[in-house]
Structures are given as C-alpha cells and as structure tokens.
C-alpha cells in the first residue's frame, strides 16, 4: 500500500489479538511499529516479532501516556485499538463498575488523541484509525457501557475528522464484528452454553463464520495509507456482513 514505508505507527493494545495482527501488517508494509500495551510481556513479544519498539503504559493514565509518547519522536499513524469489556446486563451493573470500562474504552482513546494529534496538526499530516465495534453501531446485549464508549469513539472520530481536515490529518474508525479473540471468548462464556451462543452467532453472520484477527489489519493499513488520503470521518464494519449499517 502506498505511503506506509518508513512511517512511524503507534498501535495501542498492540500486544493483543487484533492489535498484534495490525502491528504485523504495518511491519510487512515497511513501517516502523510502536507496540503500546499495558501488558509488558505481550508488548515485548510482539515488538520483537515486528522488530519494533515496545511501549508499556496504561492509556487511561494521561501522565504515563504523555511520558511514553514523548519518548517516541514523530508518530505518523495512531491506531487506537486497546479495549476491554466485562459482560453484564445493564440493570445488573453497579455504577462503580462502569469506571474501568469508561477509562479504558473512552478516556484512554481521548488521552491518546489529545497527546498525539498536536504533532500531526503542526506537521500538517497524519492519520488516526480508531478500532470501535459493531456494538456501537447496532447495540449488543450485555455490552451497554462498552457500547456507549465505542459509540462515543465514533462521534469523536467524526468530530476530530472535521476539526483536523484542514490540517492534513484524517481520522477514521473500523468496527470489528464478533472476532475470535479472548474478548469474544469472554462474551460467549464456557462450555455448552457458550457453544450454543457461538453457533447462533455463526448462523446469523452472512459469511457463516466469526471474524479472525487477520480480517482487520487490511482496512486499517488502507485507511492509514496514501490511498485513503481523501477519506476521513468514516466508519467501516469488518463483520462478514453481520451489520450493513448505512
Ligand atoms: N474481539 C472482538 O470480538 C471484538 C469485536 C469488536 C471490537 N473489538 C475491539 O478490538 C480491539 C482489540 O480487541 P481484541 O479482541 O484484540 O482484544 P485483546 O484482549 O486480545 O487485546 C486488547 C489489548 O489491549 C490491551 N489493553 C487493555 N486495556 C489497556 C490499557 N488501559 N492500556 C493499554 N493497553 C490496554 C490489553 O493488554 C490487550 O493486549 C478492542 O478495542 C476491542 O474492543 C473486538
């Protein structure tokens, strides 16, 4: 893809399932990858695989994120991919439990945009790709607070795309559907009950399979490349046709 060689790409949650696949794809395109994750073991492992640099910090901690970003030099592409969910019907949740979900899925990406966009705007170029979720577009039972945060990310994407369009910065979002990663396995639950939900999910997906981490990086790399220079404020699902949002 055009324009990715030698670019510096920071991927949050780069040690996770989808994040690692995104890191590998950018490395294949000749980019230099900053693997950011609060899990030091996975960050270092993926950084070694892609010959990149591991950055170990919690995105919800503004000061820690600021220190990490200050050590990076120029960042040309930011992929906000870190995320986490706890599955519970909304009426069973306790307000105290919302905080962690909001810090990781909304405050963390707010921090990252706030810390990385100034250098992109000053340079007059840069790309942000936000990993939201189809839960934000169509809702998902048991994922109320997470969905609210991911919906917030879509609104943030469109607003920042408008605010930064004349500064040469694009901001787009990718919404994975159910993808075979630890997050999905947590959603499905264990044993026979989990298998039933999984089978029902597969039946509902037009392409008759759940996503794989490798399904996501192609569109992310495209949106960060020169080929997508005239695309901003857009949302695209990667879900085997499960969601066909207008
Ligand atoms: N798996 C799915 O079905 C699915 C569906 C839709 C959207 N998504 C989104 O895709 C993204 C990647 O998810 P995944 O399935 O690969 O999950 P994963 O659990 O494999 O990876 C998430 C990574 O984020 C890191 N992380 C979590 N909180 C962090 C924090 N505060 N600071 C820094 N790093 C943090 C974790 O350590 C982990 O390595 C997430 O944003 C998720 O919400 C996943």
Ligand 1, from 67, 183, 209, 211: best to mutate by most atoms within 8 Å of Cβ?
183
- 199 is a domain residue: no
Is the CB of 82 within 6 Å of ligand 1?
Answer: yes
Host domain of residue 226: 8-179+213-238
CA dihedral over 108, 24, 206, 87, signed as positive or negative: negative
Pocket test for ligand 1, best of 11, 12, 13, 59 (most atoms within 8 A of CB): 13
Could you tell me if the CB of 240 is within 6 A of ligand 1? no
User: Is 230 an annotated catalytic residue?
Assistant: no
Strands 169-176 and 126-131: parallel
Global pTM reads: 0.98
pLDDT in the model for residue 183: 81
- Distance (angstroms) between ligand 1 centre and the Cα of 103 equals 13
Number of domains in the chain: 1
**Confidence band, pLDDT 50/70/90 cuts, at residue 191:** confident
| Atom of ligand 1 at shortest range from CA of 60 | 31
Residue 12 has pLDDT above 80, yes or no: yes
Residue 51 pLDDT > 80, yes or no?
yes
What is the 17 CA–ligand 1 centroid distance (Å)? 7
Q: 59 CB less than 6 Å from ligand 1?
A: yes
- Tell me if 195 is assigned to some domain: no
Predicted confidence at residue 194, as pLDDT, reads 83
Residue 189 falls inside a structural domain: no
Residue 164's domain is classified under what CATH number?
3.40.50.720
Q: What end-to-end distance do the CA atoms of the chain give, in Å? A: 27
Does residue 96 form part of some domain? yes
- pLDDT computed for residue 245 by the predictor: 81
In a domain, 83, yes or no: yes
Q: Is 23 a domain residue?
A: yes
Is the minimum distance from the CB of 54 to ligand 1 under 6 angstroms? no
Asked if 101 and 86 count as a contact pair (C-beta separation under 8 A), the reply is yes
The answer to whether residue 231 is domain-embedded is: yes
**Would the pLDDT of 246 be above 80?**
no
With a pLDDT cut of 90, the percent of the chain lying above it is: 91
What mean pLDDT comes out for the span 40-49? 98
Q: Is the pLDDT of residue 190 over 90?
A: no
Asked whether residue 185 is domain-assigned, the answer is no
For the chain, percent of residues with pLDDT exceeding 70:
100
């Amino acid at each position: 893809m055009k324009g990715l060689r030698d670019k510096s790409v920071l991927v949050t949650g780069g040690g996770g399932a989808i994040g690692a696949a995104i890191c590998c794809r950018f490395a294949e395109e000749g980019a230099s990858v900053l693997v950011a994750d609060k899990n030091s073991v996975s960050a270092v492992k993926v950084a070694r695989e892609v010959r990149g640099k591991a950055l170990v910090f919690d995105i919800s901690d503004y000061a820690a994120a600021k220190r990490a970003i200050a050590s990076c030099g120029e960042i040309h592409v930011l992929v906000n991919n870190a995320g986490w969910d706890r599955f519970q019907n909304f009426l069973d949740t306790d307000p105290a439990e919302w905080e962690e979900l909001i810090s990781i899925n909304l405050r963390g990406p707010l921090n990252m945009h706030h810390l990385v966009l100034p250098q992109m705007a000053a340079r007059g170029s840069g790309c942000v790709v936000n990993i939201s979720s189809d839960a934000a577009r169509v809702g998902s039972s048991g994922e109320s607070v997470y969905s609210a945060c991911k919906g917030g990310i879509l609104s943030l994407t469109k607003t920042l795309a408008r605010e930064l369009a004349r500064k040469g910065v694009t901001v787009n979002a990718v919404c994975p559907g159910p993808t075979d990663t630890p997050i999905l396995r947590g959603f499905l639950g264990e044993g026979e009950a989990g298998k039933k939900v999984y089978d029902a999910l597969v039946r509902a997906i037009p392409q008759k399979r759940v996503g794989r981490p490798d399904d996501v990086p192609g569109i992310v790399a495209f949106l960060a490349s020169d080929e997508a220079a005239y695309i901003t404020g857009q949302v695209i699902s990667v879900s085997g046709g499960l969601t066909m949002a207008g």
